[in-house]
Every structure is written in structure tokens, then in C-alpha cells.
Structure 1
């Protein structure tokens, strides 16, 4: 038995994470310009060649981590245990809410990123809501 919609939610989140991670690995500068705008992206790239290499390497590893998360989500999508699915969905809610809190408390203090955190925190909350709706639906089915 499995939670209805769990496979779909996992696959959608997996596709987004895999795509974003792959783009961050191979197109670091372009993703930075797309996400932050040309002016801020140039500030975030560093001023010396050594800084630029470190920042690009860091961004690539972040993309690799995101790609790995997408792959894990892909694998988890095929788990049929309702108890595990519920546990996993609650963990994802906690993760996305924590990320939104981190964005508010940390990115809001950075001058170059101060105007972007509301949009990104709202995105994190939307991802958390997708898991919450899945949990609410599964609880409704369980107690009906």
C-alpha cells in the first residue's frame, strides 16, 4: 500500500532537482546570471582568478549535491511502504521550512542578496506545501 500521489510528487521534485543540479554543474555562470541578474552575478563571481575558481568549484559541488538529491528522490519514489512515505514527506516539509528560515535569517542580511530572499523563501514554502498537501490527503484517506 502506498500514499496516492507520492510517486508523482517525488518524480516532480526529482526532475526539478536533477535539472537544476545538472545546470549548476555545467553552466555555473549562466545559472548565476539567470538566478541573480547580471550585476549581482558578476559581484558574486569573485574579484581574483583564485576566488573565481573557488566559487565556481563550490557552485559545481552544490549542483552535484542537488543532482544527488534528485537521484535519491527518484529512487524513493518507488518505495511502496506507507509508513516510510509519511516519514519521508514529514522530513521534506521540515527540510523546506528550515531552508526558508535560513534564507530569511541569513540571506536577508547580505547586501547583494537582500532583495532575493523573499522570492526564494516563498519557493521553499511552496515546496513544503506540496508535501503537506500530500500528507493531509493521506491522513484523510486513512481516517475515512
Structure 2
């Protein structure tokens, strides 16, 4: 039988991750130029947005599809948040932890080599690690609850 506290912790974590993914995705689809300027400054944002109209179109299209993918992930997380099966919750949390750790490793190993993104890479890597830790805390909490 699923305990209410473990289930509610899973629900809250899924909703928070869903909110983050959906918000970031919507911002990527509709306000990417403003996000680049806010995060990197005017000079680097101009470089990141491309120099030719063809490059700019490709970058905007890529950002839009990436944003749409994040919105889809946000909706998926929202739907998964209502699952009450403890085994599925544990499996899902482990998968999300691995996904966030691999993303942090990818950022650290590859994205930091891009000169214009190197400053932002550390901040995003820390964010990925914190998102992974939220799932690890859920796993520890549910294991503690299971064996108490």
C-alpha cells in the first residue's frame, strides 16, 4: 500500500519539475532573444542568435522545437505526478536522477568548451545537479519510510 507522505512528496516534486520545464519551454519558444540578452548580455546574445538570416532562422527553429520538447516534458511530468504506485515512483525517480546527472556531465564536458557559453555552463550544471538531488532526496525519503 502506498503511504500518503511518499506519494505527496512525489506529487510535489513532479509538479515543481513540471512547472520549471513548462516555463523554460514557453520562454524558449516565444522569448529566446530576451532570454539570451538577460542571461549573456547584448554582445554574446548577438553572436548566439546568428549572423546571417539563414543562421538566425535555423537557430530560432531549433530553439522553438527545444522549447516545445520541454513543454511536452512538463506535461508528461504533470501527468506522471498523479501515479500512486510506489514501485513506479521509485523507478521514475531513479531514471530522472540518471538523466539529470548525464545532462550535468554533458554540460561540464562539452558546453564549457564553447567560449560564449562557458560562464553560463557552471550555473546550468549546478542547476542540473540540484534537480537530480531533489529526486535523490525523494528516493532516500521513500526508502527511509519503507524500512522504518
Q: TM-score range by the shorter chain?
A: over 0.9
Residue 42 of structure 2 is aligned to residue 38 of structure 1: yes
Tell me, in whole angstroms, the C-alpha distance in 2 between the residues paired with 1:76 and 1:34.
32
Q: How well do the aligned residues superpose, as a CA RMSD in angstroms?
A: 1.0
- d(CA) in 2 for partners of 1:86, 1:37: 41
| In structure 2, distance between residues paired with 1:110 and 1:10 | 32
**What is the 5 A alignment of 1:96-107?**
96-107=100-111
- Per the alignment, residue 54 of structure 1 pairs with 58
The secondary structure found in structure 1 opposite 2:118 is: coil
TM-score (norm 2): 0.94
Are residues 1:86 and 2:90 paired? yes
For 2:129 and 2:87, how far apart are their aligned partners in 1?
24
In structure 1, the residue matched to 2:124 is 120
Q: Quote the residue 1:68 is aligned against.
A: 72
For these two proteins, the number of residue pairs brought into alignment is: 144
- Unpaired runs of 5+ in structure 1? none
